Amino acid sequence: MKLPRLPLYTRILIGLLAGVVFGILANQLGFSAFVIDYIKPVGSAFIRLISMVVVPLVFASLLVGITSLNDIRKLGRIGAKTVAYYLCTTAIAISIGLLLANTLRPGEGLSQEARTKLIQNSSEEAGAQIETGLKKPTVTDILLNIIPTNPVKAFVEGKMLQIIFCALLTGICLSLIGSERSQPVINFFEGINEVMIQIVHIIMKIAPYGVFALISAVIADFGLSILFLLLKYSLVVVVGLVLHVTIVYSLAIKIFSKQKVRTFFKGIRPAQLIAFSSGSSSAALPVTMECTERDLGVPREICSFALPLGATVNMDGTALYQGVSAVFIAQVYGMGLTMAQQLTVVLTATLASIGTAGTPGAGVITLAIVLKSIGVPLEGIALILGVERILDMCRSAVNVTGDASCAVVVASTESQL
Ligand code: ASP
The whole-angstrom separation of Cα 389 and Cα 374 is 25
Output the residue whose Cα is nearest ligand 1's atom 1.
360
- How far does residue 321's CA lie from ligand 1's centre (Å)? 10
**CATH fold label, 13-413:** Proton glutamate symport protein (1.10.3860)
In degrees rounded to 5, what are phi and psi of residue 159?
-75, 100
The continuous run of DSSP H or E covering 170 comes out as helix 160-176
- For the chain, the C-alpha Rg in angstroms (whole number) is 21
Q: Are 293 and 374 in contact (CB under 8 A)?
A: no
Across the chain, mean pLDDT equals: 90
Distances (CA, A) of 63 to 20, 188, 193, 197, 383: 40, 11, 10, 15, 45
- How far does residue 392's CA lie from ligand 1's centre (Å)? 6
pLDDT for res 4: 62
- How far does residue 378's CA lie from ligand 1's centre (Å)? 20
Count of alpha carbons within 13 angstroms of residue 304, beta-carbon side: 28
Q: Are 106 and 232 in contact (CB under 8 A)?
A: yes
Out of 395, 398, 400, 401, mutate this one to test ligand 1's pocket (max ligand atoms within 8 Å of CB): namely 395
The whole-angstrom separation of Cα 86 and Cα 77 is 14
pLDDT for res 257: 92
- At residue 403, what is the residue type? D
361 lines ligand 1 (CB under 6 A): yes
For the CA of 283, the nearest atom of ligand 1: 4
Consecutive 10-residue averages of pLDDT for the chain (417 residues): 72 93 92 92 94 93 87 87 95 96 87 74 73 74 90 93 93 90 94 94 93 92 76 94 97 94 95 95 94 93 92 94 95 89 93 89 91 90 88 96 96 88
In degrees rounded to 5, what are phi and psi of residue 275?
-65, -40
pLDDT for res 22: 95
Parse the chain into domains and list their residue ranges.
13-413
pLDDT for res 94: 95
